[in-house]
Amino acid sequence: MDSFGIYLHIPYCKAKCRYCDFYSAPGARGVPQPYVDALLRELAKNDRRPDTLYFGGGTPALLSPAQAESLILAANPLPGAEITLEANPDTVTRETLHGFRAAGVTRISFGVQSADDTQLRRLGRTHTAAGAAEALRMAREAGFPEICGDIMLALPHYSNAEFDATLELLRQGGCTHISAYLLKIEPGTAFAKFPPDGLPDPDQAADFYLYAVQQLEKAGYRQYEISNFAKPGHEGRHNLLYWNCRDYWGVGPAAHSCLGNVRRFWPDDVQGFIDGSATEQEEGRCNGEDFLLMQLRLNKGLDLDEYAQWGGRFTKLQMDFLRHCVASGYAEFNGNRLRLTPAGMVVQNAILEALI
């Protein structure tokens, strides 16, 4: 049976981070039950059992364990399914973590971002480094087999020392998986309106990324995607569905899906989702271009035989460009598989522009 994943969008947040452009809604008091009921209404329409289930947001840890359990039961995942729940360190307690674990969550993912409290305040994060360490400790105590942490790179006034401290916090916290990604100033965010001072230039940001890749490898976290690193055997199965162009169904406002190579999305409308007036829209078909974009994010790279099955092929001009990338240290190519090196991933957008 082909792999299938379900993504449940929980848009509620206690506060909006200054860099965040994701669709969200105020949720200091938790997730309203009518929203959970709307998710249950949509899940009842599905008869395909997922082998991954992902609670993303927003801040899914604002769900109560009972709400999470009801959604897991409704999704009816296969035995051994990977069930991920994103959390902010200050939105969990010992009781809720034990409750989420008892409900069936197998993978908890914390948005730690930095071990520097000044930086966290600058970003608009509501937790502290000590709070993050305590959340990781409680997650270990609750018995989660998979504990994940996020690191943001190239932040204002950034240094390798800040990265080292954050990596050590996550490593000591028992993280099996780490996501490390560069800060990007997105339109419409607080940072776009009021840019912070001390932002690294593009060359400095690239150096921070390459340093992070190197240090994560030394710490035993193997890179398997442009921004994702894991202990061997602990790669995120759900996100691999996206990057390998497998079927996934997103439910909730701003959620996206790809089923049978057809992309769909829900409008950014919480109330419309709750009352049923906002319905899922078709966006278009996935094609060889999409496959190329996704596969070159992965450390394993692009298999040209698989690419051909999607209708893709490189022209002589593109092949000449790829040979140039190899000679420059940006890619490795054995005639059938093309993969980007860490240096190539830094300039991935430029490479993709030349190939599409």
Cα separation, 37 vs 276, whole angstroms: 11
Q: Structurally, what CATH architecture does the domain formed by 4-242 represent? A: Alpha-Beta Barrel (3.20)
pLDDT at residue number 28: 66
Cα separation, 216 vs 299, whole angstroms: 14
H or E element in which residue 340 lies: strand 337-340
pLDDT at residue number 1: 57
Residue 4: count other Cβ atoms within 10 Å of its Cβ: 19
Cα separation, 218 vs 98, whole angstroms: 32
pLDDT at residue number 23: 67
pTM value is 0.94
190-233 residue pLDDT tens: 888 888 999 999 999 999 999 999 999 999 999 999 999 999 99
Cα separation, 277 vs 174, whole angstroms: 44
Looking at this protein, which amino acid is placed at residue 70?
S
Cα separation, 73 vs 104, whole angstroms: 9
**Residue 348 CB-density burial (10 A; 0-12 exposed, 13-18 middle, 19+ buried):** middle
C-alpha triplet 254, 301, 317: angle, nearest 5°: 100
Three-class SS state of 72:
helix
pLDDT at residue number 129: 97
Which parts of the chain sit beneath pLDDT 50? none
Q: Across the strands, what pairs with 85?
A: 55, 108
Helices (H) and strands (E) in the chain, counts: 15, 17
Cα separation, 347 vs 325, whole angstroms: 11
Q: If you ran DSSP here, which 8-state letter would residue 87 be given?
A: E
Q: Are 110 and 136 in contact (CB under 8 A)?
A: yes
Tokens 């730690």 belong to residue? 112
Tokens of 23: 């669709």
pLDDT at residue number 2: 84
305-342 residue pLDDT tens: 999 999 999 999 999 999 999 999 999 999 899 999 99
Provide the sign of the torsion angle of the four alpha carbons 355, 236, 273, 264, taken in this order: positive
* Widest distance between CA atoms in the chain: 60
C-alpha triplet 146, 242, 61: angle, nearest 5°: 45
Cα separation, 55 vs 226, whole angstroms: 22
For residue 20, report the phi and psi dihedrals to the nearest 5 degrees. Answer: -85, 130
Domain spans in the chain, listed from the N-terminal domain onward: 4-242, 306-355
